[in-house]
Structure 1
Amino acid sequence: MHMSRARFRWAAALAGIAVVAQAAPAQASPGPAREPVGAYLLTVAPEHGHGTAKRLLCDPDGGTHPAAAEACDQLASVDGEVARIAARPGPCTMEYAPVRVSADGTWRGKPRRFAETYPNRCAAVRETGGVLFR
C-alpha cells in the first residue's frame, strides 16, 4: 500500500508539472514573466480507490483547481499555511473511509507542506476550510 501511494504522488507531481507546462502559452510578452505568489500540488488519496491531484496557482490565480480564486483567498488569509485554515462547520456522515490529503508547494518563495489523514472525504474537506480539497 505504501508503494502505491508513493507511485501515486510521483505520478501526480509529474502530471502537475505537465499541466503547468502545457498551460503556459508560447507567445512573446512585453515584460518578464511574473512568478505566482503561491503554487501547490493538492492530492486526495483514499485508502481504497483512485486518488486525484490538482494544481493550484495563486496571484495570478489558476491551475486545474475548480475554485482557484476562492482557494487562493483562503491561503492568502493564512500566509499559505493550510494547517491554519479554519474548519468549515457542518455535518458529515460517520462513514469510515480514510482519505489522505496533501498540499505541497510554495508561498512567497517559502516551502509549504501539509499532509493529514481524515476518517472520510467530507471530514477532510470541512477540516481544511471547505475549498482546497473539495
Structure 2
Amino acid sequence: MPASYQNPVYDYIQSDEQRTGRPQQHPVVVVGAGPIGLSAAIDLAQNGVPVVLLDDDNTVSQGSRAICFAKRTLEIFDRLGTGQELVDKGVTWNLGKVFFRNQAVYEFNLLPESDHHRPAFINLQQYYLEEYLIRRLH
C-alpha cells in the first residue's frame, strides 16, 4: 500500500441486539465487507431488502487482491452508485499489448466500437473500491 494512502477507520456501530440483549431475526446477514459483501449489501438495500453487514475489521483491506475491473463490472457499480467515482480514480484502458522481450508482437482493442459508456477495463486498488462502497452505504 502506498505511503500516500491513509486507511480510513470506521466507528463501531452497536446493533440493537447488543444494546438490548434481545436477539432479532434479519432477512439477510452478509458476513464480510470486502468488494462482494459490500456490493451485495448495497444491492439488497437498494431493492428494499433489510440487510445486516458484519465484518471483523474497522478499515478497508490492506493491500489489493482485486485491481482490474472489466466493463460489465463497472456497469454493475454504476447501478450501485459508485461507477463514475471508480472510473475517475482508476487508470482506464481499452488497448491490450503483448511483448516478447522489448518488442511488441501483438496489439488488440477490447472495445473497437465507439459510444461505450464505460472503458473495457480500469485498474484501481481494492482499498479504494472498498472505501467508495462503504461511503455509498452511509
Shorter chain as denominator, the TM-score bin is under 0.3
The normalised TM-score by structure 2 is 0.26
Structure with the higher strand share, 1 or 2: 1
TM-score by length of 1: 0.27
Q: Which has the higher contact order (CA 8 A, sep 6+)?
A: 2
Bigger Rg, structure 1 or 2:
2
